[in-house]
A and B are shown apart, each in its own frame.
Chain A
Amino acid sequence: MNGAESHALLLDRGNLKRRNRVSKLVSLSSTIAALLAVAVLLIVVGSVLSKGIGALSIHFLTTPMGLFGDTTGGISNAIVGTGIIVGIAALMAIPVGMLVAIYTTEFAPDRIGHAIRFVLDLLNGVPTIITGIFVYGLMVAGNRQSGFAGSVALAIIMLPIVARTAQEVLALVPGALKEAAYALGIARWRTLLRVTLPTAAGGLLTGSLLAVARVAGETAPLILTCSIFGQGLLTEPGEALASIPIFIFQSSESPSPEAHTQAWAAALILIVFVLVLNIIARAFYARSRKRMGA
């Protein structure tokens, strides 16, 4: 067999063109799909921006909303209300979620850990309207709506997000670090506080911020638990509070075009808030990964 004959094995055997075509097709279609995803985000942000920016003003941000149908007011009460409702929800969900994650990754036997993870995934999949109805039945029916009831509903939605992301992050902390701490005679709980949690801090913060961003726009549970509120700037969580999602919902139901523009402006505020939280969360996560050598 001479050289030319043996190299003949390297030559096209008839399907090379077809294979190249298939290869191009696959890479092209996946590129298009990726562009489409980005385009959807750009279109959403773009349309919210173009339709909402007109109504945006200092006055809009600093004045409480007027009576129904009155579009001379702003959304200061909704911004403050969302801050209070989401803040209380975070205060409830983040510590509990962290402890759940710490329990499952550091202390629970494997089988229980898996079971808890599964339950959290199920909880994460529960439609938020169901959570809203649950809290409505628990706290609102026979009583009245309140910011606190809204917080409880949002906390239930946050809990699995916080716990699952914290689990993932804690599992990334290298075992060698815990081993080093144990070998120094540092007790288990102290290793957790001094070594594991500080190492994972960035990632834990990321999960919490993402959970906050996720529930800041939740509407369905708030319609049931915290949507009939009084006038002016309310700050008492025992009463129903205004919120940005509810403002968007109610303004968009209004027949007046000015109210629609206001809804777009409020949507713009919400979307900017969520984007900023996401960007901050990403930055913390990048720092945390670097620290863990990932």
Chain B
Amino acid sequence: MDSRDPAETLAMTEQNPEPQASPEAGAGLPRSTISIAGESATTPAKRSREIGNVELQGLNAYYGSNHAVRNVSLGFDSAKVTAIIGPSGCGKSTMVRCINRMHEEIAGARSEGRVLLDGLDLYDPRIDIVAVRRSVGMVFQKPNPFPTMSVIDNVTAGLRLTGASRGELEERGHQALIGAGLWDEVKDRLKGPGVGLSGGQQQRLCIARALAVDPEVLLMDEPCSALDPMATLRIEELIGELKERVTIVIVTHNMQQAARVADTTVFMLDGELVEVGPTDEIFTKPNDDRTEQYVTGKFG
């Protein structure tokens, strides 16, 4: 499973030139890399940004007879933030949920086509869905910390099933909270309830929870839509910091947000991919009339 074939990636922006190994980020932690049973089970703990490339090939998604995502082919580059914009119901969220195979959790939902993570087809029948979701983390619209768990237990919820030792849990929980920019605010209330935090803190707690299992890709489905402007700003800053560690795909209704955080922007309409490009181009000189009309507020 050689994952580094640039020719095979339908990358819309240029590849990250230097494959920077950032040793300080997550140093010493084992990579959680999915693999097909029988093939190499682990990759070395090297943190090369060569990993975390996602590619959709002819992706179609359905809810019963409703064709929500229509033949989308698209690449998401590692160490980049990609924003997905488009009017309500255009299939943004559905497309993103196909990447971590959450789409199929909905009754009557199915998808066709391929989703490749570093060249590995996540819809291969031999793939372990649980492992997919550990490699591709997700943050939802509304903060959803587990109400029965403390702050620290929320962060380590995804880790605890791995049989990690107490010390390791503590350490990785600590790292994840630092990574999510929440440590200073909660260090004195780690044992307090997760739902006792403010909305913005709860959302960063959910980001920390997703980061703790050390994913390669982080999907964010309108992560700020339930937050006030200050909390939103805090999350946007965080996205800028996190992109060195994970590939970020963010669905947003807010075009200013896309312009602020994203390197690449994708515009979707009625389930179809209309245009992909560097964010400033999409917002200043889009190729497609529909994109122009949408970003200038003529519809949507």
Contacts and interface: CB of A to CB of B under 8 A. Distances in A.
Interface of A: 110, 174, 176-177, 179-187, 190, 194-195, 198-199, 201, 291-293
Contact of A182 (B102, B147, B210): B102
Nearest to B100: A183
B1 interface: no
B147 A292 contact: yes
Contacts of B161: 186-187, 190
A185 B209 CA distance: 11
Given A184-B213, A185-B130, A185-B213, A293 B147 contact: yes
**Dominant secondary structure of chain A at its interface with chain B:** helix
Interface residues of B, number: 25
A291 B102 contact: no
B137 A179 contact: no
Contacts of B132: 185
Contacts of B102: 179, 182-183
Most B C-beta atoms less than 10 A away, residue of A110, A180, A182: A180
A195 B105 contact: no
A183 B142 CA distance: 14
Given A177-B147, A180-B140, A184-B209, 6 more contacts: A179-B102, A183-B137, A186-B130, A186-B158, A194-B160, A199-B146
Interface in B97-111: 100, 102, 105, 107
Contacts of B157: 181, 184, 186, 194-195
B134 interface: yes
Contacts of A199: 146-148
B144 A177 contact: yes
A185 B134 CA distance: 5
Most A C-beta atoms less than 10 A away, residue of B102, B133, B160: B133
A182 B158 CA distance: 9
A187 B209 CA distance: 16
Contacts of A183: 100, 102, 133, 137-138, 140, 210
Contacts of A292: 147
B36 interface: no
A161 to B, nearest CB: 25
Smallest CB-CB A-B distances: 10 pairs: A184-B158, A185-B134, A185-B133, A183-B138, A198-B148, A176-B144, A180-B144, A291-B147, A185-B130, A187-B130
A29 B56 CA distance: 66
Most A C-beta atoms less than 10 A away, residue of B105, B138, B142, B147: B147
17 contacts: A176-B144, A177-B146, A177-B147, A179-B105, A179-B140, A180-B146, A181-B157, A182-B102, A183-B100, A184-B209, A185-B131, A185-B132, A185-B213, A195-B148, A199-B147, A291-B147, A292-B147
Interface string B104-131: 0101000000000000000000000011
Contacts of A180: 140, 144, 146, 206, 209
Given A183-B133, A184-B134, A184-B213, A195 B158 contact: no
Contacts of B107: 110
Most B C-beta atoms less than 10 A away, residue of A177, A183, A199: A183
Nearest to A182: B105
Most B C-beta atoms less than 10 A away, residue of A179, A184, A190: A184
Interface in B6-30: none
B166 to A, nearest CB: 17
Nearest to B142: A176
A291 B138 CA distance: 23
Contacts of B213: 184-185
Nearest to B215: A185
Contacts of B138: 183
Contact of B137 (A177, A184, A186, A194): A184
